[in-house]
């Protein structure tokens, strides 16, 4: 319970102090999804506050959807979010901020890889032997939303490494820094089961369902510029489609 801070000399009501302490621990990632929270009685006894004070704090967290309570099992962190068609949005930061969510991007690693080690990229000309690879995780309010595996052709972007930083838009790298603009793209969306490594990074259960979004971008001559693979955990994303057809 070290994440709960109470100052009995403060004018801030005790239930708000308890509520905000737990909320901060959840949104910062100190408390993970599905973590069990202490009982009302345990908090009441430890901090020497009344049960109704703790009950009110928990009730407000329940109302916000940050925690969940199951009869006979206890109270648990409920860091659930649900986005629609996020894989098609071109402005990740703008999309999240429009919903009052704080966007984050974290580059996990960068490396040079051989084309033979990239699954699903397809057949390429002989001069496409190496790619600059970036693995990045994107979050909203501290919750992992998806993972990018991004491949820049070293043949087309020999100096791309110097532009990489945590907050750089990769679209901006393609269109501005290297002066090579894609003229066509190809997208594929499929359902997959996450392996242990990616599931852990996304803070979801191993072998859980996800949407795999693959993207190829090409120049005006049909040469590959970039290849992206993104994994969106199904528990945080949904697909919304609209089909229009004319009836005779």
CB under 8 Å to 240, separation ≥6 — which residues?
A: 84, 85
User: Looking at residue 142, what is its pLDDT?
Assistant: 82
d(CA 23, CA 57): 10
User: Looking at residue 58, what is its pLDDT?
Assistant: 96
User: pTM of this prediction?
Assistant: 0.69
Binned at pLDDT 50, 70 and 90, residue 244 comes out as low
Copy the structure tokens of residue 54: 């703790």
Copy the structure tokens of residue 232: 């969106």
User: Looking at residue 161, what is its pLDDT?
Assistant: 67
Q: Could you read off the pLDDT of 112-126 as tens digits, one per residue?
A: 999 999 999 988 888
- The more confidently predicted of residues 13 and 241 is 13
Q: Is 41 exposed, middle or buried (0-12, 13-18, 19+ CB in 10 A)?
A: exposed
Binned at pLDDT 50, 70 and 90, residue 75 comes out as very high
d(CA 70, CA 77): 11
Q: Yes or no: say if 218 and 131 are a contact pair by the CB < 8 Å rule.
A: no
Pairing mode, strands 130-140 and 143-153: antiparallel
pLDDT at residue 170 greater than cutoff 80: no
d(CA 60, CA 15): 9
d(CA 83, CA 68): 20
The number of beta carbons lying within 10 Å of the beta carbon of residue 65 is 11
Q: Structural domains in the chain?
A: 14-77 (1.10.10.10), 83-238 (3.40.1410.10)
pLDDT at residue 187 greater than cutoff 80: yes
Q: Could you read off the pLDDT of 176-186 as tens digits, one per residue?
A: 655 677 789 99
Average pLDDT over residues 135-151: 91
């Amino acid at each position: 319970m070290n994440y709960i801070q109470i100052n009995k000399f403060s004018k801030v009501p005790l239930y708000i102090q308890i509520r905000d302490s737990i909320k901060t621990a959840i949104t910062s990632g100190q408390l993970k999804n599905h973590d069990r929270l202490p009982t009302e009685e345990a908090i009441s006894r430890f901090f020497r506050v009344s049960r109704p004070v703790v009950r009110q704090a928990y009730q407000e967290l329940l109302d916000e959807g940050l925690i969940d309570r199951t009869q006979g099992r206890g109270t648990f962190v409920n860091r659930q979010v649900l986005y629609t068609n996020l894989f098609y949005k071109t402005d990740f930061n703008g999309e999240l901020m429009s919903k009052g969510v704080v966007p984050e991007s974290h580059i996990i690693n960068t490396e040079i890889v051989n084309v033979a080690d990239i699954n699903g990229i397809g057949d390429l000309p002989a001069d496409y032997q190496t790619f600059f690879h970036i693995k990045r995780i994107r979050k909203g309010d501290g919750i992992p939303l998806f993972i990018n595996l991004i491949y820049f052709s070293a043949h087309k972007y020999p100096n791309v490494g110097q532009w990489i930083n945590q907050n750089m838009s990769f679209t901006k790298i393609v269109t501005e820094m290297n002066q090579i603009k894609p003229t066509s793209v190809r997208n594929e969306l499929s359902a997959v089961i996450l392996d242990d490594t990616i599931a852990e990074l996304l803070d979801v259960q191993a072998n859980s369902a996800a949407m795999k979004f693959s993207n190829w971008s090409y120049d005006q001559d049909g040469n590959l510029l970039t290849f992206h693979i993104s994994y969106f955990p199904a528990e945080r994303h949904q697909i919304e489609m609209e089909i229009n057809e004319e009836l005779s």
